[in-house]
Structure 1
Amino acid sequence: MTNDEFRHSFRVPFHNSLGLAVYSCGVQRCGACHSWGPAVRDHYLIHYILSGHGVFTNAGKDYHLTAGDGFLVEPSHVVHYVADREDPWEYCWVGFNGSDAKRLMGQTGLLDRTPVFHYDKDRMFEELLMKICNTSGSSPSDEARMESGLLQFLAALMDEFGVPSAQHTNGYEYVQKAIKFIEYNYSSDIGITDIASSVGISRSHLYRLFMQHISLSPNEYLMRYRVNKASELLESRNLSVGEVAYSAGFSDQLYFSRVFKKCTGTPPSRFPSYERAAKLKEDVR
């Protein structure tokens, strides 16, 4: 490297099976004609250019980029990028993957457009990426801070380039968000008003969308979800019927028993696996 070149980077030594994990991050002032590829990555990689010029090639198309531009490398896509000979670029980057990575990237809007973007309103993107670099490390707390920084950066991309929910026409994204809210909160005292508020629409609109897309009302879906969770608890845990009821979000045990019998045809106290577990408990005594 010449005196004008530098590179500061961090690479995670191993990757857990996480919903989202940083693979690498860094900042680099490249030398003239410094290049990478043509090759593929096994993870997502986002570069944001701080100064200088260079060329990013994706799917056979060249993109001539400069400060304020960014480019996305998707897993298994053959890419090549090279710094300018006269004014080589300086960029920061973050590489990441995980079971939630594609879903989150889809919400940024970058997967549905060209793999380049531009942002020059302020230094927010640079600061968010540098925050990830500055918290890099291999301890669990370092990994948590890096993931937190990555989520903040992806949220900024969503705010800037993502498609607002109101622009979706069929409303299915509201149903998905409502179902996710139920999955996370079914054991709490939630109702349809809470679910509708969580996704930002009215109760009546939520009802219409649920009937349109899954042929169940929100209340029926919530009830079935709770009963399914109760069934799992009866089958796998040594809990009383009352404990199962409260764990599944029912504050009234008698009401829980009526709903459970209506949905399954069997009262919870006579649910097959629960009966066997209760008998075994008595035999042990």
Structure 2
Amino acid sequence: MSQGLPYDKITSAYAGTIVYPPKGTYGPRMQQDLQLVLLHTGELELTIDGSRHAVKPGQAVLLKPQHQEYFAFAETQESWHRWITLDLASLTDEEQDYLDKLPFSMPIPEALNTMTDMMLALQNDYLRQDELMRSLGYSAFQMFTARISLTKQQELHPSVVAALGYIRQHYMEDIALHDLAGAAGVSPEHLVRLFHVHHQMTPIRYLWQYRVLKATELLSQSGLSVGEIAARCGFKTAFHLSRLVKEQTGSTPSDIRKAAWGTAN
């Protein structure tokens, strides 16, 4: 997922919230950025390049650059939505193609709600170009794409599903490629090929991304030390955890914890 849109393409990130009155409209506009829209109440009919999409409360949608949009909200009630916008540097054709292939909508994950809360709370103290805001916005995008991939598991090859299940049950242990292949019932070489087809990465890279995800959850939701979290999530050392978290999220463990606990200054 992070290979499709590198972190360094995010030039700024910010969040917003607005309530539209009945029969409210917005647009037409040409979408310039990458935007996650979370509809909480009311309804939204979103027209993109002439194609209409009905968005119901509780859905998050991903709006992609270089598409024309028009918003028409519920006729008889107020509609409340929030959003996270990622301003992007110039994209390659491959990166634009990656974004265009991502699904349009999904149920709002609670973690995405929390991330939006966090960005709204912090942006009075941080510029949208600051690394903390950029990394939070990028993490929200990764949450969306990661959750989409989980909801599509029924479409995956059975061996990939088995390997993913093994990773989620044993990520805190010392896992090698042959362990995953054994759980999946295929050769290591075949499992690597399957992961490249379904996830555009190796099984071991997926494992480390999953460990980073679990580590960031513990950083945000627990008082455990970085060393304790490293041991619980399969990292060799606290330094190893810190390095991979920084590489994948753009934030240090300390940044993530401060943002989650509301102690950033």
Tell me the TM-score normalized by structure 2.
0.49
Bigger Rg over Cα: 1
**Structure of higher RCO (CA pairs closer than 8 Å, 6+ residues apart):** 2
